[in-house]
Chains A and B, each alone.
Chain A
Amino acid sequence: MSGLVGALGEAWSEIRHHKLRVLLSLIGIAVSVGAITAVVALSEYQQQQMAEQSDRFGGRPATIQFTANSSDGTPMDWDAFGAHVDRVAERYDFSHLTRIVDPVMLSLQTPEQVRQVATRLVDPAYPVIHRTPLLEGRWFTEADVDLASPPVVVTESLWDVYGRPDLGSGFALQLQGDVGGSYTVVGVTPREYAGDEDKHVTMLYADYTARRGILPPDMAVAWEVWVPEDMAAEIGPVLAADLRAGLDAGVDVTVSRTDWASRPDQAQYAQTFELVTGGIAGLVLLLGGLGLVNIQLVAMRQRIREIGVRRSFGATGSRIFSSVMLESVVATAVAGVIGIAIAVAILKAPFVLDMFQGMQDIPPFPMRAAITGLVAAVAIGALAGFIPALVAVRSNVIDALRF
């Protein structure tokens, strides 16, 4: 214990007494550790953004989607199939289940004209499963079904058509046709990307069918259920079997996973990005390490008498080795911490967050990145300290004292 503390103390003391040399030699290390840390963290940000974007289309992990179609060409009886789904779902007690019909084209009276607008029919669980963000207002609740003026959520682009009115002032859409009437806008979803002009309305499935009666037979209804990821593989086949049981021979049921986690290609893309950029940063770190080796070797020549004195006062070879080695490791670890701090500062900068526009859940600074950076710093310190430490140990005490 005292040996380790002593060696660490010696290393720290040496660093303190040669601040300038240490500082100059460690700039490269700090920058490259910062780069490695930032790359790992950016990769996590990128994965998060990709996951969120993917969730908007395919649902969170694990989302199981199922639908049915008539194999003999006769129109589907969605009411009957829906009742069958409800019976099956009761047995599973799903926490998040939604029906989806997308798109249903409806006539909308805008300030300038009547236009066709794509409408998505969903249940309140939809925005949870799809992690759909809101720019303004709120999503549907179960209580919305009872409202006299059915609630809808519109895209930002459609909101702009009306001049972005305040949602609290009773802003409503006027739909025409079979489901004509006034629909209160309770929420606005943001643009997915700059220049997104998609004008879309999201409406409760129940509100649509209450006005329209039965769904047109040419429309396809899909159901989505959000299940624990580790149980998805188990639930899927059982659910498929349950859904198929008791159906007419002419109805085919399709069950599939739609979330990104079921597709390894995106994860592989993120991994490749991390490998390439991390490899470049690693190369920079290695070059910084080489510089450190050079500086440490020169410093060792200057310190040869000091090493002789220490040896004459009882420092063992292993103690000299560990002190010189630790000196390098402690220095690079300090540089690593500085590099990590730089990376944290950069990642929290507004311009970086702007790069990941639309990301809802900005992940905290990933520990994996900090640990990777620190391990890289310590490893390069050990590598850079090894040769000078060997030189220090091999120096002859008598010659060192005469140096």
Chain B
Amino acid sequence: MSLVRLEGVAKHVVLPDDTRLDILRGIDLEIGAGDHVAVVGRSGSGKSTLLNLMGMLDAPSEGSVSFRGEPVRRMRKARLDRLRGRNVGFVFQQFNLLAGRTALENVMMPLGYARGREFWTRRTAATRMLERVGLGHRIESTPEQLSGGEQQRVAIARALVRRPVLILADEPTGALDVETGASVMALLDEIASEADAALVTITHDLNVAARARRHYRLDAGVLTAFELDVSANAAAAAADASGLAANVEEGTDAAPGAAPATAELEPAAEPAPGAAPAPAGAAEAHSAPDPVRVSS
């Protein structure tokens, strides 16, 4: 059964000079229960907008977004908010924890919008979830007292505490070092699998993307599927946190002076036909070796 279905979705905005900026074009995507999907793309390619549409935070300019077969557009705002709270968990790149609140208060926050038993037992549920992410001893710590990895684990606990069916992770390792990022992703994968929740990860990092079963590239607002071949060595490296020093290397956008990349991008990794070429230097500079091979 499909959880989220995007059909012919386009998103555009009108800029102050009255020109139209197309962010997403003709997106067709279906996410099923327990699915694990990765979306890679450059900065500004529309990844976060796509995630916001899937998470029902934003509405498409064209096309339709359905959740469990029901078009989102027809839903009333309050119902949509409740539906999102009950079924979708977000993990943000910058964690977005509530400053000054303890880890426990942060994880309890989504349960504050629940009803009945889920609301009244929120402290117990939040404590259990923090224990599950290995932070049972830090429940009274505020974000300022936690390391980046710990903060992201709190964010994961917060995203999963209501047992959502869909987890949307926007660059979950973007603000973490390679080793911490790997352990955080391993944890996210593990908990999502335990809960049989669908996990959609948006990332620059092909090694993070390699954890997914389906892979998509978003370029200039166009979404295309691609195969990500993970060699035995790469898989081993992926399991090894120290080997996860890879970032997305696309075409010739690697920063000058970067170490030779071991990842090879097939022609399909090039921008979609008709897409405007990215300005020089617009993409992130990546220099770490990549043990992953990408093919269309």
Contact = CB atoms under 8 A, between A and B. Distances in A.
Nearest to A2: B119
A313 B113 contact: yes
A314 B81 contact: yes
Interface string B83-99: 01110011010001011
Interface string B113-144: 11110011000000000000000000000000
B85 A2 contact: no
Contact of A313 (B78, B100, B110, B116): B110
Given A3-B115, A13-B101, A316 B77 contact: yes
Contacts of B86: 314
A312 B84 contact: yes
B175 to A, nearest CB: 15
Given A315-B81, A316-B78, A316-B82, A6 B113 contact: yes
A13 B105 contact: yes
Contacts of B119: 2, 5-6
A309 interface: yes
B110 A314 contact: yes
Contacts of A10: 112
A305 B58 CA distance: 16
A367 to B, nearest CB: 35
A315 B55 contact: no
A398 B158 contact: no
A313 B113 CA distance: 8
Nearest to A323: B112
Interface in B217-233: none
A17 interface: yes
Contacts of A2: 114-116, 119-120
B258 interface: no
Contacts of B58: 397-398
Contacts of B98: 306, 309
Contact of B113 (A306, A314, A317): A314
B278 interface: no
A285 B85 CA distance: 39
A3 B119 CA distance: 9
A138 B86 CA distance: 77
Given A2-B114, A305-B96, A310-B109, A315 B85 contact: yes
A18 B246 CA distance: 42
B57 interface: yes
Nearest to A402: B48
Given A2-B114, A401-B96, A313 B85 contact: yes
A402 to B, nearest CB: 8
A9 to B, nearest CB: 7
A397 B162 CA distance: 20
A60 interface: no
A24 B266 CA distance: 62
B52 interface: yes
B78 A318 contact: yes
Interface string A63-86: 000000000000000000000000
Interface of A: 2-3, 5-6, 9-10, 13, 17, 305-306, 308-319, 397-398, 401
26 contacts: A2-B116, A2-B119, A2-B120, A3-B115, A6-B119, A13-B105, A305-B96, A311-B57, A312-B84, A313-B89, A314-B82, A314-B110, A314-B113, A314-B114, A315-B81, A315-B113, A316-B77, A316-B78, A317-B77, A317-B81, A319-B113, A397-B57, A398-B52, A401-B57, A401-B92, A401-B96
Interface of B: 52, 55, 57-58, 77-78, 81-82, 84-86, 89-90, 92, 96, 98-101, 105, 109-110, 112-116, 119-120, 158, 162
> Shortest 10 CB-CB distances between A and B: which pairs?
A314-B85, A2-B119, A314-B113, A313-B110, A316-B81, A316-B78, A6-B112, A17-B100, A309-B96, A2-B115
